[in-house]
């Protein structure tokens, strides 16, 4: 039997700069742009997200734990993404 000690993870917010960023999460819930999924017409700072699968890049609308994602942030300001640890 293993015992894990420490404080519970409550989440955090990270600000992404303009342009391309490589993101990922090794835990659940995964890193998400302000919600559990991404809809291009509903977001004002994320232009597109891609992951690499089966030899090519594919467009995605949600993050899965353990995978990496290219995220393109556009506009006049940076973009905040949130991790909810609850």
- The domain limits of the chain are 20-84
Q: Each residue of 23-71: pLDDT tens digit?
A: 876 666 554 444 334 444 445 688 888 999 889 999 987 777 778 889 8
pTM for the full predicted model: 0.64
24-29 contacts, C-beta under 8 A, 24 or more apart: 24/63, 24/66, 24/67, 24/68, 24/69, 25/63, 25/65, 25/66, 25/83, 26/65, 26/66, 27/65, 28/65, 29/65, 29/83, 29/84, 29/85
DSSP E strands: which ranges in the chain?
A: 11-16, 19-24, 46-53, 56-59, 68-73, 79-84
Residue 67 has a pLDDT of: 83
What pLDDT does 35 receive? 39
């Amino acid at each position: 039997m293993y015992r894990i000690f420490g404080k519970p993870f409550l989440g955090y917010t990270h600000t992404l700069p303009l342009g391309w960023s490589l993101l990922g999460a090794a835990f659940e819930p995964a890193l998400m742009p302000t919600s559990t999924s991404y809809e291009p017409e509903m977001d004002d700072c994320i232009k597109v997200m891609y992951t690499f699968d089966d030899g090519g890049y594919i467009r995605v609308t949600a993050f899965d734990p353990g995978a990496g994602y290219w995220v393109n942030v556009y506009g006049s300001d940076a973009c905040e993404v949130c991790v909810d640890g609850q």
